[in-house]
Amino acid sequence: MPRTPDDDELELIRRSGVVLQVGRLSLSAGTGAYRVKASMARVAHALGIERHEAHVTLTEITTTSHRGASFRTEVTEVRSIGVDVDRLAALEHLAGRLDTAGTATVEEVSTALDRIAGKAPLYPVLLNALWAAIACAAFSFLNNGGAVEVVGVFVGAYLGQALRRTMLHRRFNQFGVTMLAATVACLGYLGFVWLLQAVGVTGVRHEAGYVSAVLFLIPGFPLVTGFLDLAKLDFSAAVARLTYALMILTSAALAVWALSLVVGLTPDPPSPAALDGGPLVALQLVASFLGVLGFALMFNSPWRIALAAAVVGMVANVPRIHLVAASVPPQAAAAMAALVVGLLAAVVAPRLDVPRITVYVPAVTIMVPGVLVYRAVFHLSNGQTVQALAYTVQAALVVAALAIGLAVARMLTDRTWAFER
């Protein structure tokens, strides 16, 4: 016969449920497994749970809470995969406050979590699409796009992200939405270009823009957190995140390839802009700042976090660009830039009372070689295996280098990363 739980066991059930809710909210906001575990452990300690263990993947959490002779094991699934920096910051602030206080009640924590979960996005659909458009337009300039291409990318990315945000909030399949959003973004860009050509504008470089118009689909958070989970030896979470990121990239790239096939375009590298010296550096600084700012705001970051990330990303990205131009291997330049981002985030994030991930992920997203990935899928789909393999290897090395730079920065500035428990 099932035994009725006593009062101590019932209390453990209540406390364990609240801790699991912290994990669900953290995981659904896009943070890495290591941060989910840390947040749950801090809240569990404040609630009087003597020992808390957790296994976290991309969509599932399994926890066991111990108190006295009793223990409680629970499993939950998180089907909503997204990024919400504002929620991450609120959860970090709550966990930090409880950690400092040392004790808390279930009612207090549950009320705070309900308030965090019920908070609406900071930016409505059209404003969120504007941030994506700004980021992709800046990306286009950094990818050697001209003025017409930058404006065309702005139009395409705006339409694509508006559709993507609307459909995801209605819980459509993510991979289908990604393919549709990529198609709409490319068509928006090409429609703008064709309109200009129809009125007599010449010299428009399609290749400089139509790929950049879909760069808002780069899964920056899953890529970075996946590699950081690897650095923490959390292989189940890391493999799941990296697989998800790869599937998102592939879905977008296949849509770009299909459209390229129809309209007869190839995503070849465009010619560099006819600028040099001071004006070029100034524009690169502005584009890097706006690109990171756009991505941060698209991730639902409050303005203070977005501005901090934009400054950090700008300071690191422009030297990276010039190192690559000076024949430094792209992966080496990426690792150095990510190290700078990680070290600056270690200084800035505590002063803002936010997790470092909210600063350094938007800052390095602009360095993720999304164009290389799209070119790799394009050539692979056309049976050009050698070119596809070359672009794939180059993109993988750069992304891995970004993660290595961030991981080294964490090891240099955080004892929990420098030493194993």
305-343 tens-digit pLDDT: 999 999 999 999 999 999 998 889 999 999 999 999 999
User: Distance (Å, rounded) from C-alpha 285 to C-alpha 207?
Assistant: 23
Q: Identify the band that residue 275 occupies on the pLDDT scale cut at 50, 70 and 90.
A: low
List the domain boundaries for the chain: 7-117, 125-418
Q: Measured at the alpha carbon of residue 287, what is the angle toward residues 209 and 280, in degrees to the nearest 5?
A: 95
Q: 327 Cβ partners below 8 Å, 6+ apart?
A: none
Residue type, 275: L
Decide the pairing of beta strands 70-77 and 60-67.
antiparallel
**Which pLDDT does position 202 carry in this prediction?**
64
* 333 and 304 Cβ atoms separated by less than 8 Å: no
User: Distance (Å, rounded) from C-alpha 224 to C-alpha 85?
Assistant: 14
User: Distance (Å, rounded) from C-alpha 214 to C-alpha 127?
Assistant: 17
Q: Rounded mean pLDDT of 378-407?
A: 86
Lookup: tokens for 118 = 């019920």
Lookup: tokens for 295 = 């991505």
Q: Describe the strand order of the beta sheet including 70-77 as a list of residue ranges.
A: 51-56, 60-67, 70-77
Q: What are phi and psi of 358, to 5 degrees?
A: -70, -20
Helix/strand/coil for 75: strand
Half-sphere exposure of 409 (CA within 13 A, CB side): 23
* 374 and 248 Cβ atoms separated by less than 8 Å: no
**Which pLDDT does position 4 carry in this prediction?**
62
Q: Identify the band that residue 2 occupies on the pLDDT scale cut at 50, 70 and 90.
A: low
* 42 and 95 Cβ atoms separated by less than 8 Å: yes
Give how far the C-alpha of residue 29 lies from the chain's centroid of Cα atoms, to the nearest Å.
10
Smallest CA-to-CA distance from 92 within 62, 65, 116, 66 is with: 116
Give the tens place of pLDDT for each residue, 367-382.
888 778 788 877 777 7
Residue type, 162: A
More confident residue, 340 or 102: 340
Residue type, 222: P
Q: Rounded mean pLDDT of 288-294?
A: 95
* 368 and 226 Cβ atoms separated by less than 8 Å: no
Lowest mean pLDDT among 260-274, 308-322, 365-379, 405-419: 260-274
Smallest CA-to-CA distance from 36 within 301, 237, 297, 233 is with: 237
Q: Identify the band that residue 95 occupies on the pLDDT scale cut at 50, 70 and 90.
A: confident
Print burial letters for 52-64: b (CB count within 10 Å at least 16), e (below 16). bebebbbebbebe
User: Distance (Å, rounded) from C-alpha 37 to C-alpha 69?
Assistant: 23
User: Distance (Å, rounded) from C-alpha 202 to C-alpha 355?
Assistant: 47
Q: 319 Cβ partners below 8 Å, 6+ apart?
A: 336, 337, 340
User: Distance (Å, rounded) from C-alpha 417 to C-alpha 405?
Assistant: 13
**Which pLDDT does position 156 carry in this prediction?**
93
**Which pLDDT does position 136 carry in this prediction?**
93
Residue type, 99: D
- Greatest distance between any 2 Cα atoms in the chain: 84
CATH number corresponding to 7-117: 3.30.1300
Q: Which residue has the tokens 């700008």?
A: 314
Q: Out of 137-146, 231-240, 309-318, give the one with best mean pLDDT.
A: 309-318
Q: Identify the band that residue 121 occupies on the pLDDT scale cut at 50, 70 and 90.
A: very high
Q: Identify the band that residue 208 occupies on the pLDDT scale cut at 50, 70 and 90.
A: low
User: Distance (Å, rounded) from C-alpha 154 to C-alpha 162?
Assistant: 12
- Average pLDDT along the chain: 86
Lowest mean pLDDT among 140-149, 199-208, 301-310, 411-420: 199-208
